[in-house]
Structure 1
Amino acid sequence: MESIFGIHERALQIRTQRGEVLANNLANADTPNFKARDIDFRAAMTNAQEELSTRKPDMVTTNARHISGFAEATTESFLKYRMPTQPSLDGNTVEAHVEKAKFMENAMQHQATLEFIDSKISGIRGALRGE
């Protein structure tokens, strides 16, 4: 059965993982040779949309000879290194102003996705109450 939230459920997961990556970048702003990374959100969402349209229900294996179900989706393959505009002498590629801007942008988009999901839940709740 498809989720009632559609692609927004996966978007929320990707935004959460992206927030963790960006926070990690900021935490390592002073670590020598640390390379800033980011998730290619567009590619991850395109993949999630394709997966949503072709996905079959998850299966539970009760025997070693059963075919396994789908693995948990990850964004690891969409994790890319960020190219700095001003690399530092110690090899660190984190630019705090860029990371903070990306983090805040992601936080606002995360909040917008949450609000959409909340409105969807409110609509379903209203329908169940007969409103």
Structure 2
Amino acid sequence: MKLFSNTVSTLEHALNYSSAKQKVISQNIANVDTPNYKAKDVSFKAVFQEAMGQSFQARKSDSRHYDFSSRPSHKAGVINKSNVNYNENGNSVDLDKEMADMATNQIYFNALTERINGKFNTLQTVIRGGK
């Protein structure tokens, strides 16, 4: 949908990211007591690259600047956080962090839905002729 100079499609991609993040957080919380379960996260960079259909290219103005590293493509940007252990059974889920991430993601999702709702209300006003 090419309305509002791609704003709606950008908001749609952001909602997809928030949805994927919510699913991953829910999986982490559900597996908090599973031995050797490694917590997962959603990589914004991978989701953004998928949405834009291209990879990041670094434009360096100095040879000392770093290149962007490219990661292999993951399903919806889901990555395993395998370098940490919080429990003696090999589980890397930190329940407090997951709950905080869930609250942050909920605020982000609510802001996105309010914004997209405002865009559609504007479109509805235009269709009605300003009435």
TM-score (norm 2): 0.73
More deviation, 85-94/97-106: 85-94
Pick from 1, 8, 13: which aligns with 2:11? 8
Gaps of 5+ in 1: 53-73
Q: How many residues align?
A: 109
Aligned to 2:97: 98
The one-character-per-residue Cα deviations of 1:2-21 (angstroms, maximum 9, x if unpaired) are 36612111111121111011
The answer on whether the counterparts of 1:39 and 1:79 sit within 8 Å (CA) in structure 2 is yes
Aligned to 2:25: 22
Higher RCO, 1 vs 2 (CA within 8 Å, ≥6 residues apart): 1
Following superposition, the deviation at residue 44 of structure 1 comes to: 1.0
RMSD (Å), alpha carbons: 2.3
The one-character-per-residue Cα deviations of 1:20-42 (angstroms, maximum 9, x if unpaired) are 11011011111111111010124
Aligned to 2:50: 47
The answer on whether the counterparts of 2:20 and 2:76 sit within 8 Å (CA) in structure 1 is no
* Cα separation, 1, equivalents of 2:83 and 2:103: 19
Following superposition, the deviation at residue 101 of structure 1 comes to: 0.7
The answer on whether the counterparts of 1:44 and 1:78 sit within 8 Å (CA) in structure 2 is yes
Gaps of 5+ in 2: 55-72
* Cα separation, 1, equivalents of 2:34 and 2:3: 41
* Cα separation, 2, equivalents of 1:30 and 1:20: 18
| Ranges of 4+ aligned residues in structure 1 off by more than 6 Å | none
Distance change (3 Å), C-alpha of 1:76 and 1:116: same
The one-character-per-residue Cα deviations of 1:51-100 (angstroms, maximum 9, x if unpaired) are 39xxxxxxxxxxxxxxxxxxxxx961521122576521100000001111
TM-score (norm 1): 0.73
Tell me the SS of whatever aligns to 1:6: helix
